[in-house]
Structure 1
Amino acid sequence: MNMQEQESCSTPGAYWGKAGKSGGHHLLCYHSLDVAAVGVALLRQSPSLQQLLRKALPDCTSEALEGWLIFFLALHDLGKFSEAFQSQRADLMQLLRGRTPDPGKPYTLRHDTLGWLLWKQRLEKQAIDEEWFGLDSCDLVEAGGLDWWMKACTGHHGTPPALGRGDWKQHCNAREDGSAVDQFIGSLFILVPRKLLAEIASQLEAETFAQASQTLSWWLAGVVVLADWLGSNQSYFPYCATPMPIGEYWGHAQTRASLALAASGLTSRPSAVREFSDFFPGITQPSPLQAWAINVPVSSEPQVHLLEDVTGAGKTEAAMMLAHRLMAAGLADGFFIALPTMATANAMYGRISEVYQQLFAGDASLVLSHGQSRLVEEFATSILPAIDPEADGRQLDETAGARCAVWLAEHGKRSLLSPAGVGTIDQTLLAVLTSKHQCLRLLGLFRKVLVVDEVHACDAYMQRVLETVLTFHACAGGSAILLSATLPERMKQSLLNAFARGRGCSSAPQLSLDAFPLATSWRDCAARLDETPIATRDAVKRRLAVRYVSDESQVLSVIRDALTAGRCVCWMRNTVADALAAHAHFRDELPPEKLILFHARFTLGDRLATEEQVLSRFGKGSDAQRRAGKLVIATQVAEQSLDADWDLVVSDLAPIDRLIQRAGRLQRHPRDVDGNRLLDPATGDQRGVPCLWVFGPEWVENPAEDWYKRTLPRAARVYPHHGQLWLTAQALQKGEIALPDDARFLVESVFGDLGEVPEALLASSGEAEGQALADRSEGQQNTIKLSSGYTADGTEWWSDARTPSRLGEATVNVILARWVDDTLEPWNHHDERRHAWAYSSLRMAERQICARWVETDPERESVVLAALETLPDKGKWSVLLALEEQAGRWVGRALAPGKDDEASRSVLWRYDVEAGLIREKTPAGSG
């Protein structure tokens, strides 16, 4: 191609790629190069990404690897070279092409799918005829390897492109659009000469290349979404409508891409090997588990470690030390800690906020370097800042800015992209569920040490999804650390097997030891499991007394006696309704400063405030004055990873693993008889023998079918395997638990093959086990398949707001607002409205709230509609509950589903900062 031909094809400037509603546009060819430049900048700064790409493209030069990525990333918006897409802005079409749009080609097919059609129906044949990829072009096309690159690149809306959607000419002006595409690809060949593409294509047999590209496509899709979002940020890539030679603009794009990536907080480098004392100077003598983490061999292969130990053994510190060693050995670039609940995730921030920075050379992102009270806003600005959503109503599909803004509105998602992340396990599970933007989550986990805390808290469905996460993570070269107090052997083996499948093995070696505590490691398909029994310090060996009672009045009495004696108490209940009922017993007896209700039906802002209150009054540093005579009534939010302890713990009967967790909050930190912390833990706790009180149905050897449901009817739905509950109650009749000695036996006697369920409970137990198998099957069905590649293939891809990371009741995000005069304000205040809405949200069962109440007053309804526009999702996946103050109570209406075929019904709700969101009783026939 001579210079004149180069110049003539260098700027297909009649097509817009980005446009704002208030004017201004960015040429499509320039936006395409912006995104390609971000991809190359990311590749240059990420040796891990280079390594991943070289699995599919081995033995190629760095120049060829970059060229290959530039070429395909630049085609991500290929579908915008269409009459249908361009017609959305008739004004720009008139400006750029001097004509109006063709009314016979409306925009009915999204541009990602249009791009795929153009590739399959037009460019694929051209690639063969013109030998874009050298002499092997025909083989590459026919084997389908190039298709995976195009599916990943065109599928940048968070889902793969739809397949088989008609003829490209139905949506394009065949002559004009076809010529523009040819002109643009000719421009790309200036930046990426065909000989570089041919160098890549000649490295592998076509079939081998296709198989490698199919697997790679899952992570490549995430790279494209990320590059598109960064490349759409006008702060770094301002709109440009001035034609210039392609090489000149490419230089600008590369400079801007480097600046955008540097500002994104996405990249970091692990620090060199450091000592345990550097991270935890307050620990003068590492625990046995921590000593194991300091000294266990770390090979050069991806590996999985499963750590089981008692509460107080320092599992978190051991995991962080081991993660650091894996990072320092070049096996990871960061870490992500997944926890079972928001409360446990929030608590984890505080525990490692002073540690994580030392794991990195230079400044890592500030995701973790803040107090809980600033969780939302600092977190939200630290990773991949949201970009201008380009709110242009004339564009029928979401712009990159809009997609980025909505996705990043939920702060928990950002933690996956940070080098140092903490969040709920849901964010991890969504990486392998068929949910929108799962590829971005999968990329976020890429080359991180995945730490899953309290892994025993996964139910059958979550465990099956987690197994898929481990398979994908291992396939991409990731390592994992799984933490638990105790795990049933079957669950342990399944998790290890899942990781092994990602390493290309059929399964991991079989477990052989039943010791507890235990560290189990696996690194190599050819090697055996390393199972290391761990000693237990005398300070965390515990012998708990257990009092099992079936009379609730006895529970109330023992709590009152303890409070009168100046002790602090926590009553852990199995449902919110039971917690509210318990709260009602003490609400009029105790002053507000001595009674805390802690459950999930508070707004995020109020929950964070309650968590801080709990940790301040009952945390490790609390003293007798702050603790004395105070009562916490909590649900499961207090049973895991919350570093608080009480003088007395009462629990509703729950499965034995949950009770062991709850018992871990009983006299957790050594204190004197008054409750002051002992500076020398070796002194031993002076509050007497800790006693766990368990409230449940009367213990009988031969229970009736409704044995559990008769006493705890609401909890019977939460824990449906009543045989396991009976086996737990049976184990408690011994009157004491010795930890760690009894832990393994207790778990296996309830969840393993050691216990025998009474005949009357066999039906409910069999139903629960059958449901667990069905849940596993649904987990298998809902997860992506490594071997299938990034393709829709008839599968429905949900919005992540609707994707079930957990089964059970369907829930909805409810956002509370309050009427202030004639305006509607978020329940929790913040100077930035988007943060205020985040603080004002909570989750509710859809059977209780399914949709917002439409105001009968037109003026008020217009205010509500305006408020919806300020929500991150515009109210699409959430319900706005507007509250009004009436006689000192904040109440508001929402719609609940009708029974059977009945219409939705109005329900009145009350929000109380002490009790949370409560259904308000209304007179019969009202509402």
Structure 2
Amino acid sequence: MSAPHFGYWGKARPLGAAGDDYHLLPYHCLDVAAVGVTLLKRSPALRKLFAEALVLDADEPLYSWFAFCLAIHDLGKFAESFQGQRADLVKRLRGRDPDLGKPYVVRHDSLGWLIWEHHLKDCAADQCWFGPNSEDMLDGIGWWMRASTGHHGLPPDSRGHWRHHSCPEDTAAIEGFLDELRALFPLDAIKHAHAALGTDAFEGRSRDLAWWFAGVTVLSDWIGSNTEFFPYRAEATPLQEYWEEAQERAETALKSVGVLPARCSKRNFAELFAEIATPSPLQIWAIDTPLTSAPQIHLLEDVTGAGKTEAAVMLAHRLMTSGCADGFFIALPTMATANAMYGRIAEVYRKLFEGHPSLVLAHGQRALVEAFADSVLPAGQEEDDTAQRDDTATARCNAWLADHAKRALLAPAGVGTIDQVLLATLYSKHQSLRLLGLFRKVLIVDEVHACDAYMQRVLETVLTFHALAGGSVILLSATLPDQMKHALFNAFARGRSADPLPRTSSPGFPLVTSWHEGQTNAALEPIVAREAVCRDVAVRYVTDEHEVLCAIRQALAQGKCVCWMRNTVSDVLAAHAHFENELDADHLIVFHARFALQDRLATEERILTHFGKSSTPALRAGRLVIASQVAEQSLDADWDMVISDLAPIDRLIQRAGRLQRHPRDTDGARLVDPQATDQRGQPCLWVLGPAWSETPAANWYKQAFPKAAAVYPHHGHLWLTARALQQGRVAMPEDARVLIEGVFGEGAELPSGLQANANQADGAYFSDLSVAQQNTIKIADGYIRGGIDWWSEAKTPTRLGEASMTVLLARWDGDRLRPWAEHENPRHAWAYSSVKVAERLIARRVPESDGAKEQLVKDAEALLPDKGKWSVVLALQETAEGWTGTALSMEQENKPSRPLRWRYDHVRGLEQMQDAECFEQEQE
């Protein structure tokens, strides 16, 4: 085969490896094109998105356009600088040595864009590639080229000139390859689209579609680079012949990797949730409410324990069976809530689909059910070629999937933290792949009220993009301020090009708020509360911690179980110190975010065993849990007595939801009759707070809770909450709306002593909104790097506040370094050994003084997905004080980095062995 483009390698094995040494570049390009085209063929909704936007009424022209764009994704690999990484292959394929004067300093994705921008664009105009109006089309075509060449997960870098990295023969090879591609893949689709839309509309549609096409390119490149499906081919054969073969391989690959839409099975509520004998009023609404085929958003507000999750799943199931969606993703505020939700969804998801779809748990850690995670986009054989300074597609895929967290967005059914969703619209590497993963899924956001100002604004961007692509959304909350509701609904409406929605509100609670395209305003539908969750909760507001300690001891002596929810880890540990010599380890549980993942999961399981729905009086009696905020959401636990430090009213409502949650008799045995009422007497929520004052001083809250003052910085909200609690009772659900609007509503008045703090908090609120606006992608800007810093996913801020560091706990076993957690898979062991700590406290590790030990730590870092770039290995040594280690704090203004000593055990978690110089701000 004499064509010059067959003289270039696209993928290469390390020297000495078995099999063909290389895969010809044109073949790899066709492998990726075949995957993308097959994905489009097997995804009707994705095909419809592109076809309708481009005004195409036939499929084949669209397939050809996809194939052409995807096949040029690796144009940059034709450059001499890239090829020269394997001098032996240049010599073999072209009979010469590479030009050493062209070093590989610009990555091949950006080189591909530069080739288009500085050479091919002019060729396209001069030779009328896209018809007589080719020159007018170039701005629109450019968006497709950016998305295609930007297959490393971010837009290509436009700096530099491609001729600095190439030789004259590269030009001939590229042009020859493009000539064959244009013959193989006619460009009729794009000609027709421009003719139908006109130049401006064509560019606008292309710009918007590029966000999703970029995700298609990344996914296609990963699958098309998997040698299990696409083995190396060094022998030159005609492209037409290879294209037929590549399409067959792509069919096999896509059937195997678990990213295609799953067929939804039709089930009624009783089949999905056989354990629920009588659906709640909210669940009945989800069963019976008429649905439109248009993209839609629903907000389900009901009290804790009212069955919002089941209602949302039922509603999502109906949307899927009616053809409005192909799957779902449930986003939750924290890892703990994601773990708990996974357990609930795992029981029902198989009934939702035909066959064996994948359900994946995703959060910032590792998938916790590896059998499910491994079924989605399995990693390929690593091409560890030290001669290449460019990471391969397989390496990028393996690194991205290494913690399995991100797979959930590609599977038909997923559960994870909201962070995984927010990254889809932040300037973050691989955001386009996340955006593609959300496509045509029902996005269910649980505990949506837990979003702060920054997260809410980022979520608004997600809703706009999701609506633009035709997605639907279900928001769940026990309570949501009207202002936040209005902003979220308007964001979704913007994605459907609707006019701003008028502000609507209702005193009703529970309440369903719904909107779909074509409505002029949101529809409000009050729901009757289920009788079993209607209750009066007494509130005992106390200011003396000694009174709390006495009450806990008395309750434990009476055989009751108790939970004290505190606002910081430091306060949790201080409370633990009061009881550690009074209660044995079986009766005293500490639960907070600063445990290694394996220990934290074990604690969650222990809490659900002792205090979950099926717990018995013997399992419950005399046990105390001291927890941080991680216990307030989604853990289906039930305590006889709950004490909480003063927190904003929405958090207190959540915490009160864990008080006498399941109906029980006077001994604590569960009452199986769903209509039964609890027999333990009136529930009473104890709240420990500052002394109540109508005219509080500026330090009213900070004086009582110095460490928690930064956790809830708007002390006006805390004072308004405390004022509402002075009435001594809360009736749910009738008081819910009044309580929320009384604290967070726009008309709430504050005493003068707290006004300065409120002004500062409001300033921080608007500052956070501004930062979110800067950090989120803009539809109108298009998929372009520009002057924006696109972060690594590990460093992209999905939440503001104090930056945190992933700390990987390890222990010295003689001369061996082991992860804290035991697991047969080393990568899993490291993931289960992870814990989040404020970066201010742990920023870098201290090098080992022993050279051999230092090398062992480096070897361990090399096994990590991030190669130790965004995490810190904290090596612990067993001492008389326990397992201890040292790490360096972050350098701060006027404060140099300093070593801090840490101790870890499975009872108290990770704690500093000396006081920090500044307050300890907690982060879940």
Fold shared per TM-score above 0.5 = yes
Task: Report deviation, 1:379.
Answer: 4.2
The partner residue of 2:144 within 140, 149, 153 is: 149
Task: Report deviation, 1:197.
Answer: 5.5
Paired AA for residue 30 in structure 2: L
Q: 1:808 — aligned with what?
A: 801
Q: Counterparts of 2:875 and 2:892 in 1: how far apart (Å)?
A: 24
With 392-401 and 800-809 compared, the bigger mean Cα shift is at 392-401
TM-score (norm 1): 0.96
State yes or no: 1:159 paired with 2:145: no
Q: Counterparts of 2:116 and 2:893 in 1: how far apart (Å)?
A: 48
RMSD of aligned residue pairs (Cα, Å): 1.8
Task: Note closer, same or farther for the CA distance 1:754–1:199 as it changes in structure 2 (3 Å cut).
Answer: closer
Task: Report deviation, 1:47.
Answer: 0.5
Q: 2:920 — aligned with what?
A: none
Partners of 1:467 and 1:499 within 8 A in 2: yes
The partner residue of 1:169 within 158, 163, 176 is: 163
Task: Report deviation, 1:362.
Answer: 2.2
Q: Deviations over 1:19-57 (max 9, x none)?
A: 232442211111111100110111111001101111332
Q: 1:68 — aligned with what?
A: 65
Partners of 2:366 and 2:403 within 8 A in 1: no
State yes or no: 1:883 paired with 2:876: yes
Task: Report deviation, 1:674.
Answer: 1.0
Matching of residues 288-437 of structure 1 within 5 Å? 288-367=281-360, 375-437=368-430
Q: 2:463 — aligned with what?
A: 470
Q: Counterparts of 1:8 and 1:100 in 2: how far apart (Å)?
A: 19
Q: Counterparts of 1:901 and 1:752 in 2: how far apart (Å)?
A: 40
Task: Report deviation, 1:373.
Answer: 12
Q: Counterparts of 1:899 and 1:246 in 2: how far apart (Å)?
A: 59
State yes or no: 1:491 paired with 2:484: yes
Q: Deviations over 1:183-227 (max 9, x none)?
A: 211221342135566455544322211110101111110110000
Partners of 2:361 and 2:405 within 8 A in 1: no
Q: 1:4 — aligned with what?
A: none
Task: Report deviation, 1:677.
Answer: 0.6
State yes or no: 1:102 paired with 2:99: yes
Q: Counterparts of 2:570 and 2:873 in 1: how far apart (Å)?
A: 23
Partners of 2:346 and 2:359 within 8 A in 1: no
Q: Counterparts of 1:366 and 1:574 in 2: how far apart (Å)?
A: 33
Partners of 1:229 and 1:400 within 8 A in 2: yes
State yes or no: 1:29 paired with 2:26: yes
Partners of 2:361 and 2:416 within 8 A in 1: no
**Paired residue secondary structure (2:5):** coil
Q: Counterparts of 2:843 and 2:190 in 1: how far apart (Å)?
A: 53
Partners of 1:64 and 1:199 within 8 A in 2: no
Paired AA for residue 124 in structure 2: A
With 689-698 and 881-890 compared, the bigger mean Cα shift is at 881-890
Partners of 1:60 and 1:199 within 8 A in 2: no
Task: Report deviation, 1:412.
Answer: 2.1
The partner residue of 2:833 within 835, 840, 859 is: 840
**Paired residue secondary structure (2:660):** coil
With 864-873 and 653-662 compared, the bigger mean Cα shift is at 864-873
**Paired residue secondary structure (1:93):** helix
Q: Counterparts of 2:245 and 2:826 in 1: how far apart (Å)?
A: 35
Partners of 1:76 and 1:156 within 8 A in 2: yes
Matching of residues 524-673 of structure 1 within 5 Å? 524-673=517-666
Task: Note closer, same or farther for the CA distance 1:669–1:543 as it changes in structure 2 (3 Å cut).
Answer: same
Task: Report deviation, 1:300.
Answer: 1.1
Q: 1:3 — aligned with what?
A: none
Partners of 2:193 and 2:202 within 8 A in 1: no
Paired AA for residue 16 in structure 1: W
With 450-459 and 257-266 compared, the bigger mean Cα shift is at 257-266
Q: Deviations over 1:902-927 (max 9, x none)?
A: 54221211110111111124999xxx
State yes or no: 1:445 paired with 2:442: no
Alignment: residue pair count: 911
Partners of 1:12 and 1:183 within 8 A in 2: yes
**Paired residue secondary structure (2:695):** coil
Q: Deviations over 1:289-338 (max 9, x none)?
A: 00111111110100000110011211000000100111111111000000
State yes or no: 1:263 paired with 2:256: yes
The partner residue of 2:853 within 857, 860, 865 is: 860
Task: Report deviation, 1:367.
Answer: 2.6
Q: Deviations over 1:2-21 (max 9, x none)?
A: xxxxx754x72211111232
Q: Deviations over 1:545-594 (max 9, x none)?
A: 10000100111111111111110011001011111111111111110011
Q: Counterparts of 2:418 and 2:462 in 1: how far apart (Å)?
A: 11
State yes or no: 1:137 paired with 2:130: no
With 374-383 and 756-765 compared, the bigger mean Cα shift is at 374-383
Q: 1:128 — aligned with what?
A: 125
Task: Report deviation, 1:421.
Answer: 0.5
Q: Counterparts of 2:359 and 2:291 in 1: how far apart (Å)?
A: 28
Partners of 1:849 and 1:897 within 8 A in 2: yes
Unaligned stretches of 5+ residues in structure 1: 1-6
**Paired residue secondary structure (1:12):** helix
Task: Report deviation, 1:256.
Answer: 1.5
Q: Counterparts of 1:206 and 1:687 in 2: how far apart (Å)?
A: 72
Task: Note closer, same or farther for the CA distance 1:829–1:692 as it changes in structure 2 (3 Å cut).
Answer: same
**Paired residue secondary structure (2:702):** coil
Identical columns (%): 59
Partners of 2:716 and 2:755 within 8 A in 1: yes
Partners of 1:215 and 1:786 within 8 A in 2: yes
Q: 1:907 — aligned with what?
A: 900
Task: Report deviation, 1:810.
Answer: 0.7
State yes or no: 1:79 paired with 2:76: yes
**Paired residue secondary structure (1:483):** strand
Q: 2:921 — aligned with what?
A: none
**Paired residue secondary structure (1:430):** helix
Partners of 2:464 and 2:494 within 8 A in 1: yes
Q: Deviations over 1:708-759 (max 9, x none)?
A: 0011011100001111101100100101100001000000110013532111
Q: 1:90 — aligned with what?
A: 87
Q: Counterparts of 2:695 and 2:894 in 1: how far apart (Å)?
A: 42
Partners of 2:359 and 2:373 within 8 A in 1: no
Q: Counterparts of 1:899 and 1:68 in 2: how far apart (Å)?
A: 53
Q: 2:922 — aligned with what?
A: none
Task: Report deviation, 1:400.
Answer: 1.1
With 845-854 and 822-831 compared, the bigger mean Cα shift is at 822-831
Q: Counterparts of 2:891 and 2:489 in 1: how far apart (Å)?
A: 45
Task: Report deviation, 1:900.
Answer: 2.9
Partners of 2:482 and 2:505 within 8 A in 1: no
**Paired residue secondary structure (1:874):** coil
**Paired residue secondary structure (2:856):** helix
Paired AA for residue 522 in structure 1: W
Q: Counterparts of 2:198 and 2:293 in 1: how far apart (Å)?
A: 28
Task: Report deviation, 1:682.
Answer: 2.0
Matching of residues 450-465 of structure 1 within 5 Å? 450-465=443-458
Q: Counterparts of 2:63 and 2:223 in 1: how far apart (Å)?
A: 18
Unaligned stretches of 5+ residues in structure 2: 918-924
Q: Counterparts of 1:384 and 1:549 in 2: how far apart (Å)?
A: 54
Task: Report deviation, 1:251.
Answer: 2.1
Task: Note closer, same or farther for the CA distance 1:795–1:903 as it changes in structure 2 (3 Å cut).
Answer: same
TM-score (norm 2): 0.96
Matching of residues 707-786 of structure 1 within 5 Å? 707-786=700-779
Q: Deviations over 1:586-607 (max 9, x none)?
A: 1111100111111111111111
